[in-house]
Amino acid sequence: MSDLHQDFIRFAVQQKVLCFGEFQTKAGRLSPYFFNAGLFNDGLSLKNLSDFYAKTILSSSINFDMIFGPAYKGIPLAAGAAIALAELGRNVPYCYNRKEAKDHGEGGATVGGKLQGQVLIIDDVISAGTSVRESIEIIRAAGATPCGVVIALDRMERGQGELSAVQEVHQSYGIPVIAIATLDDLLGYLQGEGGMVQNLNATELYRDQYGVKYA
């Protein structure tokens, strides 16, 4: 597990964004952990999160011209990542969509930079993939090209079929999906924490029941 992945998991746990217990997922499964990016809700935690996104993006091989954040959670993620990328020497436009198109003022269904070129989507997690599908439709409707998705955590569990939600997006749209950290990284973190044995065992059992192993 690289330092970046390990540092991110530790950061998420410290911020209580990544919690352990018993939580019901959208799919109706009882998960032993829960990740809520909405709890990165102060200036310092958002700055640190944005730095993780920027470093993950720059270490990937994805060629992009701008970033897009789906409303609502993706809005601060895209803005923060754009700032962090600029601080690392890569200044790119960012854009986000409105939930309802505005028919006055500047109008339109998006805010920010003009959607054009290769567009990288930034989101927190992929569950059913709904927000990614909507983002891809918006980007393509503007004549731009979705080139990839960056998320904070890949749960690596089955979606609607035998593939994970991340794999389903990749298969459906032919674009890469990269994550700051994955379930494997979470398990690696738990294995290194002496007081986390119960959480480790529960997470391993959950992975055995619902998980998908990547090649």
- What domains can be seen in the chain, in order of their start residue? 3-210 (3.40.50.2020)
Q: How far apart are CA 48 and CA 10, in angstroms?
A: 12
CA distances to 14, 67, 99, 146, 208 from 123, in Å: 21, 10, 16, 13, 26
In this prediction, residues 168-192 reach a mean pLDDT of: 95
Return mean pLDDT, the chain: 92
Burial class (CB in 10 A: 0-12, 13-18, 19+), 28: exposed
Residue 159: pLDDT band with limits 50, 70, 90: confident
> Is residue 1 scored above 50 in pLDDT?
no
Q: How far apart are CA 15 and CA 30, in angstroms?
A: 22
Angle (CA) 24 28 33, round 5°: 35
Does 104 participate in catalysis according to the annotation?
yes
In percent, the amount of the chain with pLDDT more than 90 equals 80
Check 102, 114, 170, 213 and give the catalytic one: 102
CB count within 10 Å of CB 63 equals 10
Place of tokens 């970046």: 4
> Is residue 166 scored above 60 in pLDDT?
yes
Check 104, 114, 170, 213 and give the catalytic one: 104
Does 102 participate in catalysis according to the annotation?
yes
Q: Per residue in 55-100, pLDDT tens?
A: 999 999 899 999 999 998 999 999 999 999 999 999 999 999 987 7
Single pTM value for the model: 0.92
Distance of CA 213 to the CA centre of its chain: 19
